[in-house]
Structure 1
Amino acid sequence: MAAAPTPTLVLLPEWGAGHLMSMLESCKRVLLRGGRAFSITLLVMRPPTAQATSQVEEHVRREAASGLDIRFHRLPAVDPPADAAGVEDFIARYIQLHAPHVRDAVAGMPCPVAALVLDLFAAPMVDVARGLGVPSYVFMSSTGAMLALMLHLPVLHRVVTVGFDELDGEVHVPGLPPVPPECLPCPVVDKKSPNYTWFLRLGDSFMDATGIIANTADGLEPGPLAAVADGRAVPGRPAPPVYPVGPVLSHGSSASKKDSSSEPPHQCVAWLDAQPPASVVFLCFGSMGWFEPAQVVEITAALERCGHRFLWVLRGPPSSKSGAGAPDGSEHPTDANLEELLPEGFLRRTEGKGLVWPTWAPQKEILAHPAVGGFVTHGGWNSVLESLWHGIPMAPWPLYAEQHLNAFELVADMGVAVPLKVDRKRDNFVEAAELERAVRCLMGEEGRKAREKAAEMRDVCRKAVEKGGSSDAALQRLSEALHDGAVPPTI
């Protein structure tokens, strides 16, 4: 008798590395944890920009050579919406236009489908899965706090009758301390925005999924995860089971650039080798983080005055910054021209004590280095997880998306960061005196509690993914649920 075909997990990620690689790495753990009881089929949407397309193809080439049972199905191209009112509105609408092609791809699978795993922006496609009779899982690449907020947002929408930017008071998100309105994610501040409307819809769609896979751990975010599990996020309606399988550290584009053991260390790492332990503050702002010249001047003044050793990844403005930029908001910075961006004499005055690096840098290797004592970060969740994995305390400087909520959670709930006051009305501008204060706090005695808490969270992260840890147990429950639910699609 012929062996039964291996069920496949069908993945539909958003094209950004933080979404695509986080989902893929998490589902690869399911594949490996299940004793190769599954294969993975990645549905590849053509991104709306040439730069994003090139990066996706790089990921596809690397994973195709990994030796794992991962297949790739390219969906037909669709025309992007021309009238999107914002980044989130564009992404959600562009993904939703692929719904008929996703349905055809899943229906045409030559093997049983264990589940359709959807990016958070693709959550409305739970309807596609339901129509085909296959389970659906939403992959949450952000925090448990963001998950609790998205599930609770329809409740807040009814209770809070004004825009959150007009609210006099705090916002109550189950599982979190009271949240100041200025700490809410960018897409939900303005109730009149189409971005807000999409987030309402996305939160509702989460509730219709078979389950939610989250790149976090019980010990990292016990409050928000418990609030979802015990029904406080959506009173009167049980939420789907949540599987916290993290931290899953996305390789992203850095995996192809990382130096092999036979090559000399990256120049940033070599510079760190000559610095004392825990003496360097690392400043890096993600794949889309860059600053206008006026902000660069403030940063240089702060770094000179605080006197701490520093490694600063400084990027230049995107080449597309002549208009609206990329429609999905993915304007990537260019390599910085340090002579143009930095004040005259800064490099000379800080020589030996600081390094300004103008292009891509190996962030995980840098955070793992014993010379690094603190991290000034945009607060993207992948960067936060990398920092916590190595026990590095943070000063979060949120720039976009959900990062303001991340910063609030890191300071007020986890205690692994020191506060940094940003002016949202001035495009998240930070004065030199404020950055100087935050760096002194982060690297000095005032930051001791944050350092101790970050070291605790390092242990939490590592124990969670060990055999028998909370995330390993969640992965086992997820693998069993997927195995039990695998069915041939019903057309």
Structure 2
Amino acid sequence: MRQTVVLYPGAGVGHVRPMTELANVFLKHGYDVTMVLVEPPFKLSDSGTTAIERIAASNPSISFHVLPSLQAPDFAAPSKHPFLLMLQLLHYYNEQFEAFLHGIDRKSLHSVVLDMFCIDATDVCVKLGVPVYTFFAGSASCLSVLTQLPALIAGRQTGLKELGDTPLDFVGVPPMPASHLIKELLEHPEDEMCKAMMNIWKRNTETMGILLNTFELLENRAVQSLRGPLCIPERILPPIYCVGPLVGKGAKDEDKVERNECLEWLDMQPDRSVVFFCLGSKGALSEEQLKEIAVGLERSGQRFLWSVRRPAGSDNPEKYLKVGPEPDLGSLLPQGFLERTKGRGLVVKSWAPQMDVLDHRATGAFVTHCGWNSVLEAIVAGVPMLCLPLEAEQKMNKVSMTEDMGVAVELEGYMTGFVKADEVEVKVRLVIEGEEGKQLRARVAARREEAEAALEEGGPSRVAFAQFLLDVDSLGKQLRE
């Protein structure tokens, strides 16, 4: 009898995508996989919805199950932070999730793997006697910091915000400026958001084990900190399994009916000559910042491929739109910019096939928001990065990327929330044609080789996943007895 693994990423393309890659690993080991999604009472962005639909359509071997929608109180409460609403929603879905698991033959149910934000469903799995694990889609460095934060916050009468850029010492990671922590964690310890997030990270380390989307050599110090009584002196964390890098594969040319226009354009550019500027599915910048970046790119004299989204913080976003959600580039960018950079640069609206672009021989650098999925994709492709972190844990990732991993340099303007044209010009030139850029490319190339080795037969990530399967089998037998 084939066994079934249930993966529960909740909603959000940034969580569904890496868990889909994890699902494919289970499939290769002979397991059936069901991905459980929830239907939020508030709409995802069009691009997010489309991306999830695209993922489902391109992975027919995975069964996707959407839990029945429900009407729960207070989801439209204007005073509630969207993150708290999401957590409340996922908690209400526990009943539906339990009913779904009851529908699977207990003997064939191998395990349940929960996304970091669906962690309340641990209670359902414990109740049913099902092996339950966490899939932490972020970096090991981020998880290490988050597990150490409660001890730092405990007993404080004020939040960490007042510390500004003061470096904080955490085991396993470089000194972390207080300002670089997830902003909600900087608030007063009794703040509702701060308490909710602290509870999430605590519960993430209370399942039967943690699957990490990383590989040992990339974050060795952080991984080791999670394996001993270093992060939380009073207890040992559950087993840590580094099973990454789990990233999607770019589509092969022969598999495409029609290649994206930006790939056709890249075909005409010299090797490693193009800066790819893309800030993820939510990376919206202000109109002023977009214009400043445009000036810097133009002055740099370098080739570029730039994915531009509708600007953030606009009181009248419709003024930028011609049809639908795509930005009107003529209104957003400096007058004449597109004409002056024609041939040397290409600006695309809202979306570009990121893995295909990173894998392309012409791509020489990647300006990224430092989301962990994007970081891993660039490392796997061997592309050095310029860091422009925006939100969530991205500033934390930036510290590790530049100081521990050696795969990136920063655009220092992120510290003030505005990157000037002069810095864009200088840093783009540095990475593409400077001596420091050559050294950076060499380090990233070495990381790429390590990533490939991790996933080869007998590689550390393959061995870690095999050990995970053995541990689940052993645990499953104990729970059934």
Is the pair's TM-score, using the shorter chain for normalization, greater than 0.5? yes
Q: Does 1:266 align with 2:260?
A: yes
Instruction: Give, in whole Å, the separation in 2 of the partners of 1:239 and 1:154.
Output: 14
Q: Which amino acid aligns with 1:375?
A: F
Structure 2 counterpart of 1:432: 421
- Partner-residue secondary structure (3-state), 1:334: coil
Per-residue deviation, residues 231-251 of structure 1 (Å, max 9, x unmatched): 211112010111111111146
* Alignment check: 8 A CA contact 1:84 1:90 kept: no
Equivalent residue number for residue 178 of structure 1: 175
1:196 equivalent in structure 2? 194
2:158 pairs, out of 162, 166, 171, with 162
Deviation per residue, 1:308-350 (Å, 9 max, x gap)? 11111112248x9769xxxxxxxxx932211111111111221
Q: Distance in 2 between matches of 1:172 and 1:162?
A: 19
- Offset at residue 84 of structure 1 (A): 5.8
Amino acid at match of 1:279: S
2:289–2:419: 8 Å Cα contact kept in structure 1?
yes
Question: Secondary structure of the equivalent of 1:440?
Answer: helix
Q: Deviations over 1:41-69 (max 9, x none)?
A: 22221133164556544544443xx2x36
What secondary structure does 1:239 align onto?
Answer: coil
2: CA distance, partners of 1:96 / 1:458: 39
Say which of 295, 305, 310 aligns to 2:304: 310
The aligned runs of 1:127-142 (5 Å cut-off) are 127-142=123-138
1:355 and 1:53 map into 2 onto residues whose CA distance is 26
What is the CA distance between 1:179 and its match in structure 2?
A: 0.5
Structure 1 residues 298 and 189, CA, compared in 2 at 3 Å: closer, same or farther?
same
Q: Does 1:108 align with 2:106?
A: no
SS in 1 for 2:151: helix
The CA RMSD over aligned residues, in Å, is 2.6
Mapped partners of 2:278, 2:158: distance in 1: 36
Q: Counterpart in 1 of 2:77? A: 82
The 3 A distance-change label for structure 1 pair 423 and 18 is closer
Is the counterpart of residue 337 in structure 1 residue 331 in structure 2? Answer: no
Q: State the match for 1:214 in structure 2.
A: 212
Please name the residue that 2:87 is paired with.
92
- Give the structure, 1 or 2, with the largest relative contact order (CA under 8 Å, sep 6 or more): 1
- CA–CA distance in structure 2, aligned partners of residues 466 and 150 of structure 1: 31
In structure 2, what is the Cα distance between the partners aligned to 1:265 and 1:61? Answer: 18
Superposed CA deviations along residues 6-28 of structure 1, whole A, max 9, x for unmatched, are 33212211211221121132133
User: How far did 1:174 drift?
Assistant: 1.8
Q: Deviations over 1:77-125 (max 9, x none)?
A: 2433625643432322221221222222223322432222111011232
What is the match of residue 328 of structure 1?
A: none
Give, as a single letter, the amino acid of the residue that structure 2 aligns with 1:43. V
- Given the alignment of the two structures, is residue 387 of structure 1 paired with residue 378 of structure 2, yes or no? yes
> Any idea what SS the aligned residue of 1:436 has?
helix
* Alignment partners' CA distance in 2, 1:469 and 1:313: 35
| The one of 270, 282, 287 aligned to 2:281 | 287
CA distance in 1, matches of 2:144, 2:466: 23
8 Å Cα contact 1:416/1:454 also seen in 2: yes
Structure 2 distance, partners of 1:154, 1:124, is 19
Amino acid at match of 1:482: V
The 2-side partners of 1:83 and 1:210 are apart by: 37
Quote the residue 1:459 is aligned against: 449
Could you list the runs of 5+ residues in structure 2 that have no partner in the other structure? 317-323
Q: Is the 8 A contact 2:292 2:420 kept in 1?
A: yes
Contact kept, 8 Å, 2:454 with 2:460, in 1: the verdict is: yes
CA contact (8 A) 1:134 1:487 kept: no
Q: Select between 133-142 and 98-107 the one with higher mean Cα deviation.
A: 98-107
Q: SS where residue 407 of structure 1 aligns?
A: helix
Q: Which moved more, 1:394-403 or 1:76-85?
A: 76-85
Match of 1:6 among 2, 8, 13: 2
Say whether the 8 Å CA contact 1:78–1:97 is kept in structure 2: no
1:376 aligns with 2:367: yes
Per the alignment, in what secondary structure is the counterpart of residue 422 of structure 1? Answer: helix
- Mapped to 1, the partners of 2:82 and 2:441 lie a distance apart of 35
- SS across alignment from 1:418: strand
TM-score, length-normalised on structure 1? Answer: 0.87
CA distance in 1, matches of 2:253, 2:198: 43
| Deviation (angstroms), 1:259 | 6.2
Per the TM alignment, residue 424 of structure 1 is displaced from its structure 2 partner at its CA by 5.3
Deviation per CA, 1:435-465: give whole Å up to 9, x if none.
2232232222222332221111111111111
Change in CA separation of 1:73 and 1:485 when aligned onto 2, cut-off 3 Å? farther
In structure 2, what is the Cα distance between the partners aligned to 1:281 and 1:27?
A: 32
Q: Specify which of 41, 51, 54 is matched with residue 34 of structure 2.
A: 41
Note if contact 1:8-1:111 (Cα within 8 Å) is conserved in structure 2: no
CA distance in 2, matches of 1:45, 1:487: 30
Return the match for 1:224 from 218, 222, 226.
222
Distance 2:365 2:112 in 1: 39
Contact 2:309–2:327 (CA under 8 A) maintained in structure 1: yes
Take 1:486 and 1:272, find their aligned partners in 2: how far apart are those partners? 50
Q: Aligned partners of 1:54 and 1:372: how far apart in 2? A: 26
